[in-house]
Amino acid sequence: MQPSPHSQALSQLLVISGLGGSGKTTAVRALEDMGFYCIDNLPLPLMDTFLELVASRGDIDRVALVIDCREQHFLDDVTEVLGRIIASQAPVELVFLDAQDDVLVRRYSETRRQHPLSGEGAVRDGIDEERRRLKPLEGLPHVTIDTSRLSPHQLKRVISDRYRQGKATGMALTVMSFGFKHGVPAEADLMFDVRFLPNPYFVPELRALNGVDEAVSAYVLGSEDARQFLHQLEVLFQFLLPRYEAEGRGYLTVAIGCTGGHHRSVALVESLREVFEAAGTTPRIAHRDLGR
């Protein structure tokens, strides 16, 4: 069958798949909140027909389809159908939600649900079978979102950051400050400790201020170590970010920590914001402990 142009009328088409318990329902709810027309568990043989119908209506321009590997002929149909849609050069993105097996087992236990593919076996048996059925998707271009360390709220934020403008905006980047004395952020993918920098806390006139204030920022960034650190981070991220995106990573959280999360880490994060924006990337900025 020749590639069909039927989905080119859409401004964006997302095809969502992944492991049970990885957060597909949460992702779909986030997309619905942004105005996507979402269909859950659409049988693969009906996908072409559905997209043709949408194109003929003309009043739907953003669609998210969830596909389920429990479908009887999933393995027979998935690569052919998705490959055909991708080849049509429609604005389609395959989004794969994943999580570590231990996390999935825990989530099933918390909800007291049995894995639909486990039969009489354990939940882990169902997860193994599900991974086997989803294996063909690895050969298709896709974005992977690992939800192992994400709460439902954090996953919704990742989805919103990536798709809020109705088109894929590249990898959703979050840069956050935190204080080590309040614990490290579990969602961090990359973490940097800036407690080696001069601490404004010990300067009486700066103690009550924070890293957003110009006086604190000037104090922190006035040190040669801070300037060198920022330069090294800029070089590192110029190397890493395009490679993470090429890998299909959906999001990245960079955490900068100092003692209390008020001064040094905040000033560095605000400076990193400028570095990323100058490079054409708009990160989400979060100061986790600034209000403590």
Which is higher by pLDDT, 57 or 5? 57
Residues 32, 36, 37, 40: is their CA dihedral positive or negative? Answer: negative
**What are the pLDDT digits (tens) for 142-176?**
889 999 988 898 898 889 888 876 445 567 889 99
Chain centroid to CA 124: 25
Q: Rounded to two decimals, what is the model's pTM?
A: 0.66
Partners of residue 249 on adjacent β-strands: 144
The Cα 4–Cα 271 span in angstroms is 47
Per mean pLDDT, which of 32-46, 68-82, 158-172, 207-221 is the most reliable? 207-221
Using alpha carbons, list the distances in angstroms from residue 101 to 8, 42, 59, 104, 143. 37, 26, 40, 5, 19
φ, ψ dihedrals at 162, nearest 5°: -80, -35
Between 54-58, 158-162, 207-211, the lowest mean confidence (pLDDT) is in 54-58
Q: How many CB atoms lie within 10 A of CB 237?
A: 21
The Cα 119–Cα 288 span in angstroms is 43
pLDDT of 111 above 50: yes
What angle is formed at CA 282 by the lines to CA 162 and CA 269, rounded to 5 degrees? 115
Using alpha carbons, list the distances in angstroms from residue 260 to 199, 217, 233, 256. 10, 16, 22, 11
pLDDT of 74 above 90: no
**Per-residue model confidence (pLDDT) at position 78:** 80
pLDDT of 261 above 90: yes
Per mean pLDDT, which of 35-49, 249-263, 275-289 is the most reliable? 249-263
The Cα 29–Cα 208 span in angstroms is 41
- Side by side, the strands of the sheet bearing 62-66 are 37-40, 62-66, 12-18, 92-98, 143-146
pLDDT band at 286 (very low <50, low <70, confident <90, very high): very high
Amino acid 146 reads: D
Rounded mean pLDDT of the chain?
A: 87
The stretches of the chain forming alpha helices (DSSP H) are: 24-33, 47-57, 74-87, 101-111, 123-134, 152-163, 204-207, 214-221, 224-246, 264-278
pLDDT of 241 above 60: yes
Mind listing the domains of the chain with CATH numbers? 6-163 (3.40.50.300), 172-287 (no CATH)
Residue with tokens 């600034």: 290
pLDDT of 209 above 60: yes
**Per-residue model confidence (pLDDT) at position 89:** 57
pLDDT of 90 above 80: no
What is the percentage of the chain residues whose pLDDT exceeds 90? 46
**Per-residue model confidence (pLDDT) at position 53:** 86
DSSP string, 61-105: -EEEEE--TTSTTHHHHHHHHHHHHHHTT-SEEEEEEE--HHHHH
Task: Take residue 181 and report the two structure tokens written for it.
Answer: 């004395």
Which letter does DSSP use for residue 45 in this model?
A: G
